[in-house]
Amino acid sequence: MNQKVTVIGAGRMGSALAAALYKRGFNTTVWNRTSSKTESLSRLGLRVAPSLLEAIDNAEIVIVNVNNYESTNQLVRQPAIESALHCKVLVQLSSGTPDEAREMESWARPRGIDYLDGAIVNYPVDIGKPQGTVLYSGSDELFNRLKPVLLAFGDNALFVGKEIGQAAATDIACLSFCMGALVGFLQGYIVYDAENLPAGGYLQVVKTLMPAMEAALADLCEKIKTKDYGNTQAALETWAVAPRELIAWCEKHGVNHTFSDPQLGLIGRAVKAGKGHWDFAYLYEVLKQGAD
């Protein structure tokens, strides 16, 4: 546990990462552009480096968690910092695109920096707890070497692929799912509230849907794999009722329905193509066709 780890960035997430490493017994240093944000970490016992260069000099493993790759690039693409990173490990945990990860690896490799890309898929409060989940891609050998350190962030240090952009790609895919579900939940909350139903009751009902949702997701995967879209329990024409009714309800109550409009539009495209009697999974093909 004497490995020296530095965390660059002490925002909401960076602070959680640094604290988790320290609590696991790693020799942890932190640096943040705005030094006042490191005060609580300093009180906890972490070493706060006075400069970025000293933070990197003091570490074998450097973990970056700032707002994005652009800021990371501004920080690390300076001659003195590049020299300090030579022969060290750099783990990028700021959110970004697969191409940004690829670009970062192309920068790191010729400079003798061992680079692993990662993406965090939960809240700071989950970091350091069993549910903590971080996706990684790049060299599997490097991932396995770092795993004892990465497990400080939670039990789910998940290696998703050897191609460096694959953690960011998985993150984008998961965020697509989460954003859709969360915005949908908020839209439903408005209905519940306006119809004078108890708010806690909504959550209870949604929770009971979860096992069926899990089964429905598995069914979608199977149908996409086999392209078996004709076999269905609920045709797209039947599904169209849901956004149509919700849009009508929103119009009556003066509520925004820009979340539901594209859902009806996607189904409309399938119907127009003569596939209204096909399964919901067919929307995968509609989405792949691009915009109208």
User: What does the binding site for ligand NAP look like in residue numbers (CB under 6 A)?
Assistant: 9-14, 32-34, 37, 65-68, 71, 74-75, 94-95, 120, 123-124
Q: Which is nearer to ligand NAP, 17 or 108 (CB)?
A: 17
Q: State the burial class of residue 195 (Cβ atoms within 10 Å of its Cβ: 0-12, 13-18, 19+).
A: exposed
Least CB distance to ligand NAP at residue 131 (A)? 13
CB of 119 to ligand NAP, least distance (A): 7
Q: Which residue is nearest to ligand NAP (CB)?
A: 11
DSSP 110: G
For ligand NAP, the closer of residues 5 and 283 by Cβ is: 5
| Minimum CB distance to ligand NAP, residue 52 (Å) | 9
Least Cβ distance, residue 93 to ligand NAP (angstroms): 7
Q: Which is nearer to ligand NAP, 11 or 276 (CB)?
A: 11
Q: Are 14 and 94 in contact (CB under 8 A)?
A: no
* C-beta separation of 99 from 43 below 8 A: no
In the complex, least distance from residue 224 CB atom to ligand NAP, rounded to whole angstroms: 27
Nearer to ligand NAP (CB atom), residue 150 or residue 286: 150
Separation CA 292–CA 289 (nearest Å): 8
Q: Which is nearer to ligand NAP, 14 or 128 (CB)?
A: 14
Residue whose structure tokens are 């004709």: 230
> Residue 66 or residue 158: which is nearer to ligand NAP going by CB?
66
Element (H, E) at 8: strand 4-8
Provide, rounded to whole angstroms, the least separation between the CB of residue 31 and ligand NAP: 9
Q: Which ranges of the chain would DSSP assign to H, the alpha helix?
A: 12-23, 39-44, 52-57, 69-76, 79-85, 98-108, 140-150, 166-194, 199-226, 236-239, 241-253, 261-272, 283-288
Query: Smallest distance, Å, CB 122 to ligand NAP?
Result: 6
If the CB atoms of residues 6 and 94 are measured against ligand NAP, the closer one turns out to be 94
Q: CB 147 → ligand NAP: shortest distance, Å?
A: 20
Which residues are bridge partners to 118 per DSSP?
136
- Which residue's CB is nearer to ligand NAP, number 172 or number 224? 172
Task: Tokens 């108890």: give the residue.
Answer: 198
Q: What is the 3-state secondary structure (H, E, C) of 137-192?
A: EECHHHHHHHHHHHHHHEEEEEEEECCCCHHHHHHHHHHHHHHHHHHHHHHHHHHH
CA distance linking residue 18 with residue 75, whole number of Å: 18
